[in-house]
Amino acid sequence: MNTTAIDTGLLERAVDKLPADALMPLRLKALRSFSETGFPTTRHEDWRYTNLAPIVEVSNLWLRDAAAGIAEATINDAAINDAAMEYASELASRIDAYWIVIANGMVHKASLTRLAGHALRGFDAVSLAGDDLMQPASGDDPMTRFNTALLRDVLRMTIRADNTLEKPVGLLIFDDASDGAALSQTRVIIETERNSRAEIIEYHASSGGHPHFANAVTELDLASGAAVNYVRIQNRDTAHFQSGRLMARLHRDSTFRHTAFDLGGGLIRNDVDVDILEPGASVELYGLYLASGQQHIDNHTRVDHRVGPAASTEEYRGILGDRSRCVFNGKALVHRGADGTDARQANHNLLLSEKAEIDTKPELEIYADDVKCSHGATVGQLDKSALFYLRSRGLDRDEAAQVLTRAFAATILAKSSVQAVRNHVESLIDQRLQTLAGGLS
């Protein structure tokens, strides 16, 4: 058996074991298209530095059980819900938001009621049917197909026109692998109607001592004049894996700000795809990844400027220690005729260990004439003259190093204007930096 590929025979039987509900036609369609390609390998340019072999391995393990109809043994919804709800209430005490819990891919029904009366509507797969279910499904990549093929539930949410949400919507995506190797497919569809304004928090966490692969796909549609401030916090167990994809479609004069914090996880791949469909859109993408031990964190972003004028700004920063490895690839694609495009990208990395590795590639592809574009990447160590300056003021070496790494990270934290998460994220970053600084000489 080829251990570097998903066993499609097992996958077919696993899909067949899922309930014959409204999702089934979509699953079967996705199964067919997935089977043609399988997972991407390092021969694909977009996956060159991220080898999915560990994810394939845990997937095949789980599929074997699922195909034999004993998947329920490893998806104990009741037990998972208890763990997830406990995590959610802890989180809710720190971050004030309308929290919705999605545990191992299943939307927690009771938490949907929190949206009622807040210019929001939320549905899961059971309350939706057929064609309504997946619009505006736009993804057509192997990870999204795999997600659709094994989908058990969907969260679909609408933010009503001309409304501004008083509090952020918090999506807790919680996965548990206490009872054996596990797989989860999370699917979220968010529509913001015209001139609505919302803050959205996507929070990933996991528990359990067995291997786990979380495959999450979020689709976001911004209508004319809508403004979304999105924060993604990935704080998974460092033994667990994730592929997360966010696909955003921007209409006239909409504003999208996305700030990503990768603090945990073993093997993590994030894709942010932004499609600018109408003029006047504004996109800001920020990210911070902190990696230590053997963590592998890969961030890919792509902004399609199909029309102009429109602006996109991007800045990702990484702090890497030990033998960690990170990847950044930011692509801005300015299509023919997208005049008046302003696209900027930057990626800065701080290496705290000689064994850490970063592969960074900001990319611009320009097919229009009247554009302003810039990109740049830096990789470096802590600035020696800054360290000396701080020490000459009485701070010891460790303290000075910590002040500087913190300052490096703080610039991204400052970009996220979702105030509700600020203190919590700041304390998570501080905790992580202490681990990272432990590896400093």
Partner 1 sequence: MLEIINLKARIGDTEILTGLTLSVNVGEVHAIMGPNGSGKSTLALVIAGHEDYVVTDGTVRFMGEDLLALDPEERARIGLFLGFQYPVEIAGVNNAYLLKAALNAKRRAQGEAEVDAFEFLKLAREKMALLNMDPALLNRGLNEGFSGGEKKRNEILQMAVLEPRLAILDETDSGLDIDALKAVAKGVNSLRDPEHAIVLVTHYQRLLDYVEPDFVHVLSGGRIIRSGDKSLALKLEEKGYDWVREAASA
Q: Closer to partner 1 by CB, 387 or 428: give it.
A: 387
Residue 411 within binding range of partner 1, rule CB under 8 A: yes
Contact status: 403 vs partner 1 (CB under 8 A): yes
- Give the shortest CB-439-to-partner 1 separation in angstroms: 21
Q: How far is the CB of 408 from partner 1 (least distance, A)?
A: 7
Q: How far is the CB of 405 from partner 1 (least distance, A)?
A: 10
430 touches partner 1 by CB under 8 A: no
The reply to whether 440 sits near partner 1 by the rule CB under 8 A is: no
- Supply the minimum distance, in Å, between the C-beta of residue 134 and partner 1: 43
Q: Are 299 and 331 in contact (CB under 8 A)?
A: no
Q: Return phi, psi of residue 431, to 5°.
A: -60, -45
Both tokens assigned to 365: 């592809």
If the CB atoms of residues 248 and 400 are measured against partner 1, the closer one turns out to be 400
Beta carbon nearer to partner 1, 337 or 380: 380
* Using rule CB under 8 A, residue 410 touches partner 1: yes
- One residue of 1, 2, 3, 394 binding partner 1 per CB under 8 A: 394
Instruction: By CB under 8 A, name the one of 118, 252, 375, 406 that touches partner 1.
Output: 406
261 near partner 1 (CB under 8 A): no
- If one asks whether residue 395 binds partner 1 (CB under 8 A), the answer comes out as yes
Q: Choose one: 19-27, 191-199, 200-208, 400-408; the region binding partner 1 (CB under 8 A).
A: 400-408
Whole-number minimum distance, CB 415 to partner 1, in Å?
A: 12
Q: Which stretch binds partner 1 (CB under 8 A): 97-105, 142-150, 326-334, 409-417?
A: 409-417
Q: How far is the CB of 324 from partner 1 (least distance, A)?
A: 22
Q: Minimal distance in Å, beta carbon 401 to partner 1?
A: 12
Cβ at position 201, least distance to partner 1 in Å: 23
Contact letters for partner 1, residues 354-393 (x by CB under 8 A): -----------------------------x-xx-xxxxxx
Residue with Cβ nearer partner 1 (369 or 398):
398
Q: How far is the CB of 330 from partner 1 (least distance, A)?
A: 21
123-131, 152-160, 231-239, 403-411 -> range binding partner 1 (CB under 8 A):
403-411
Rounded CA-CA distance 434/428 in Å is 10
The residues that bridge with 348 in the sheet, in sequence order, are: 317, 378
Q: Which of 131, 166, 365, 396 binds partner 1 (CB under 8 A)?
A: 396
Q: Site for partner 1 (CB under 8 A): how many residues?
A: 24
The backbone torsions φ and ψ at residue 311, rounded to the nearest 5 degrees and listed phi first, read: -125, 140
Structure tokens at 420: 């509700």
Contact call for residue 404 and partner 1 (CB under 8 A): yes
Cβ-based nearer residue to partner 1, 52 or 404: 404
Cβ proximity to partner 1: between 72 and 399 the closer is 399
Asked whether the beta carbons of 332 and 364 are under 8 A apart, the reply is: yes
Number of alpha carbons in the 13 Å side-chain half-sphere of residue 412: 31
Q: How far is the CB of 160 from partner 1 (least distance, A)?
A: 39
Chain residues that interact with partner 1, rule: CB under 8 A = 383, 385-386, 388-397, 399-400, 403-404, 406-411, 414
